[in-house]
Amino acid sequence: MNAHSTVADDAANDLLRPLQARDFLNPPILLAGIVDHMMYAFFRDRLMSAPLEGIVVIELSTLGGDPEVARMMGEDIRFHSEQEPGRRFVFLGKAAIYSAGATFMSFFARPNRYLTRGTRLMIHERKIQANVILDGPLTMCIANLKAKLNEIEHSIQIQNEGFQNLIAGSSVTMEQVLRLAPENWYVEADEARNLGLIEGVI
């Protein structure tokens, strides 16, 4: 076996093997704070300069933020994972992965999800705050109400798609998530591992 084949084999193994603490020593992408468009811009910049092959760790600590920005970041991970099979994108949650942070984590395959010791996940339903003003012809009032209802129903659909991605391959059922999420479901790192929501605790 020559040196080139050994290096190639090592790279291939990196894409499959369970990870250890040393694999997380120097994450190329470090994110902390509110999930918003500023975080997204920083994330995109770091993603473009991350290693082009092997393990790429994205470390995140967040108390939440914009779920649509989290989905944008997640779609970038999904797209690059599909287009660049030589890269293994790995999620490392630190301290707090709340709300939009859990949404982002759901885009990673379960074998690529890790949390640091003592980290808490917080999973909840999307929230809305809106006033519907009825002023004008009655038919227009009905249209306004239906438009708001359609918005809510579509948001629930997107939310539940995220829940399905999050629990895929775990022992958690959709019924459990829908029962617990309205009250803010907190999951400690070891519990998340035992439930199969993540691969390991670092």
DSSP states of the chain: --HHHHHHHHHHHHTTSPP-GGGGSS-SEEEES-BSHHHHHHHHHHHHHS-SSEEEEEEEEES-B-HHHHHHHHHHHHHHHHH-TTEEEEEEEEEEEETHHHHHHTTS-GGGEEE-TT-EEEE------------S-HHHHHHHHHHHHHHHHHHHHHHHHHHHHHHTTSS--HHHHHHHGGG-EEEEHHHHHHHTSSSEE-
- 174: CB partners within 8 A, 6+ apart: 160, 163, 164, 167
The whole-number pLDDT of residue 134 equals 82
The whole-number pLDDT of residue 10 equals 58
Strand partners, 30: 59
State the burial class of residue 11 (Cβ atoms within 10 Å of its Cβ: 0-12, 13-18, 19+): middle
What does pTM read for this prediction?
A: 0.88
- Distance set, CA 54 to CA 12, 15, 86, 196 (Å): 8, 7, 6, 24
The whole-number pLDDT of residue 136 equals 87
CA distance 123 to 102: 7
The whole-number pLDDT of residue 133 equals 84
CA distance 98 to 82: 26
Parts of the chain with a pLDDT under 50:
7
Domains defined for the chain, CATH in brackets: 3-201 (3.90.226.10)
The whole-number pLDDT of residue 3 equals 53
The whole-number pLDDT of residue 48 equals 96
